[in-house]
Every structure is written in structure tokens, then in C-alpha cells.
Amino acid sequence: MEQQKLKGQSVLITGADSGIGRGVAISMAKAGAKALINFVHNQDSAEEVVSEIRSLGGEAISFKADVSQETEVQAMFAKHIETFGSIDIVVNNAGLQKDAKFTDMTLDEWNTVIGINLTGQFLCSREAAKLFIKQGVRNGVSRAAGKIICMSSVHEVIPWAGHVNYAASKGGINMFMKSIAQELAPHRIRVIGIGPGAIQTPINKDAWETPEALNKLLTLIPYGRIGQPEDIGNLAVWIASDEADYITGTTIFADGGMTLYPGFTDNG
Ligand code: NAD
């Protein structure tokens, strides 16, 4: 085990069987947090994450729930409390894309993305907040009663043609995150967004799986490399730790400069 910034705490991470969620789960477990690994389809991958955490000396369980379904989310939080006794951190990570040209986009493609990416964050954050308020600050564990991390995207601020459902869900997360941060701060609950740039995961495989696609992608990243799940995992650990205790209601971008409008580097 490396640093133990989250010792004695537990975390619930949605969509933690793959990509960024998996990276965050492993980073937080290395930092000492016990983890509930949520999955919706792929139990084998979730069990692999659980095994990896156990092999590092940590504690973890997996739990199947669709974050867009209220009763499944409530059952997941009940399982977390039953297993770990309390809860300190929630990472709203589950998300997906259903891309289509705007005029071809079906209502189902719109509703599915909003339902999982945005309503899923509402359902999980609401359960978390109720538990954090009931629990209060646990002295000797953390200065906050709880921490909610909302996985957003650079598309919280960068418009994205052909992906309006996804961009709208991420723009929505920004105001959702800020509004609940304002409401929950007096309860000593911190709410923070993470805005990843291009991170190498299954969600954006088309953008990095061939050298041509990767080179095209790199023209959008001034720092010159694609991100890895652990880039986000390291940031999430720090956000959840007491080192970030005075931070709430903002999104932190981890994007190698993607939000710096690199198209203007040579005079626009
Ligand atoms: P991924 O496809 O590897 O992981 C997404 C996870 O969400 C999977 O585990 C999937 O099963 C889960 N999920 C989907 N629908 C769900 C549901 N209804 N209930 C529970 N879980 C569900 O992709 P990723 O890149 O790791 O994406 C994780 C998050 O990061 C998403 O919110 C995504 O929008 C965001 N993000 C990713 C990137 C990137 O470049 N990879 C950039 C910005 C933001």
C-alpha cells in the first residue's frame, strides 16, 4: 500500500468495472478506502477489480445496479452501509454515449444518456447526501461529513456536434454539482466535479485504437499524450482527502490542456 490518505473511509464508485471508474477504485483502495464496485452488465470485470483490491490488501465488494433506476440505487447504498457500516465518498462515474447527428437523434438515445449520465448522478448523490447528513462528521476520519465526486467531462464546456445528448448531460452535471454543493456545504459535505479530457478507455476506443486516430486526437491535446485512468484516480484521491478540505462546488479539469483551445495556438 502506498499513501493512505483515505484510511478508515469507504467509497462507492458507480461504473467501476471499467475504464476511469476502475482506475479511481484502485487508486482509492491504495489510499486506504474500502470500496463498493458498482457494475450493471459485466460482473466478471467487477470481480476482477475486487480481486485486484484484495490482492493489494484492501477491502471491496461488487454490486449490480443500474444508476438510472431509483430502487436499484437505494438497494446499492443499503448494501454499502450493511457491509462497511458507514460511507464517506461517492464517485458518480457511470456514463455512456449514444452518438447521432442531431436531426437523427431518437428520443430513446436522448433519454438513455440523460437518464444514466445526469439522473443517475441525482439518484446516487441524493442517497449519499441523506446518509452523510445522518452520519455527520466522523472525528478522526475526515474533516467533512462526506464527499461527492461528479465525473463530468471537458464537454461540460466544449460543445460537441453529433453528441448533443452527452454534452447536455455533462453541462447539466455542472449546475447540478454547483447547486447541491451550495445546499450541502453547511452540512460539511463537499461536492466536486472532475472534467477528464481524452482518457484511454473503452468509451472512446475509436479515437485511439489506430495510429492515425491517435495522431488526430493528439492535435487536440497540447500536453501531447492521451490520459490514463490513474491520472483521474490520483486526482480523485486528492479531492476526497482532507488536503482538499476547502474545495467544493467547482470542476477540476484533467485534460492535458484540451480546454485551452489549441486550435488558436498558431494565431487561430
Ligand atoms: P467506460 O465505458 O470504460 O466506463 C463506463 C462505465 O459506466 C462502465 O463500467 C459501464 O458499465 C458503466 N455504466 C453504463 N451505464 C450504466 C448504468 N446504467 N448503471 C451503472 N453503470 C453504468 O468509459 P469511461 O471512459 O471509463 O467513462 C467513465 C466516465 O468518465 C463517464 O461518465 C464518462 O462520460 C466520463 N468521461 C470519460 C472520458 C474519456 O475520455 N474516457 C472523458 C471525459 C469523461
Query: For the segment 45-101, what is each residue's pLDDT rounded down to a tens digit?
Result: 999 999 999 999 999 999 999 999 999 999 999 999 999 999 999 999 999 999 999
In a domain, 1, yes or no: no
- Residue 117 CA, ligand 1 centroid: distance in Å: 9
Question: Tell me, what's the pLDDT at 3?
Answer: 52
120-135 helix and 164-184 helix, angle to the nearest 10 degrees: 20
Task: Give the domain range for residue 209.
Answer: 10-257
In a domain, 265, yes or no: no
Q: CA 261 → CA 198, 250, 252, 254, distances in Å?
A: 14, 20, 17, 14
Amino acid at 93: N
Pocket of ligand 1 (CB under 6 A): 14-15, 17-21, 38, 40-41, 66-68, 93-96, 116, 151, 153, 196, 198-199, 201-204
Q: CA 216 → CA 17, 50, 237, 263, 267, distances in Å?
A: 28, 35, 31, 13, 20
- Residue 220 CA, ligand 1 centroid: distance in Å: 21
CB 14 within 8 A of CB 93: yes
Q: Which residues make Cβ contacts (< 8 Å) with residue 117, sequence separation at least 6?
A: 94, 95, 96, 166, 169, 170, 173
Atom of ligand 1 at shortest distance to CA of 115? 18
In a domain, 41, yes or no: yes
Q: From edge to edge, which strands make up the β-sheet containing 60-64?
A: 60-64, 34-39, 10-13, 89-92, 146-151, 189-196, 251-254
Atom of ligand 1 at shortest distance to CA of 151? 32
In a domain, 3, yes or no: no
In a domain, 268, yes or no: no
In a domain, 2, yes or no: no
In a domain, 220, yes or no: yes
CATH classification at residue 245 = 3.40.50.720
CB 154 within 8 A of CB 217: no
Nearest CA to ligand 1 atom 12: 15
In a domain, 5, yes or no: no
Strands 89-92 and 251-254 turn out to be unpaired
Question: Tell me, what's the pLDDT at 13?
Answer: 99
For 5-40, the pLDDT digits (tens) are 999 999 999 999 999 999 999 999 999 999 999 999
* CA atoms of 89 and 142, how far apart (whole Å): 10
- Residue 265 CA, ligand 1 centroid: distance in Å: 31
Confidence of residue 268 (pLDDT cuts 50, 70, 90): confident
CB 43 within 8 A of CB 19: no
**pTM surpassing 0.85?**
yes
Q: What is the mean pLDDT of residues 168-185?
A: 99
> 92 or 3: whose pLDDT is higher?
92
For this structure, is 166 an active site residue? yes
The total domain count for the chain is: 1
Q: What is the mean pLDDT of residues 136-146?
A: 97
Question: Tell me, what's the pLDDT at 1?
Answer: 46
Question: Tell me, what's the pLDDT at 267?
Answer: 82
Nearest CA to ligand 1 atom 6: 15
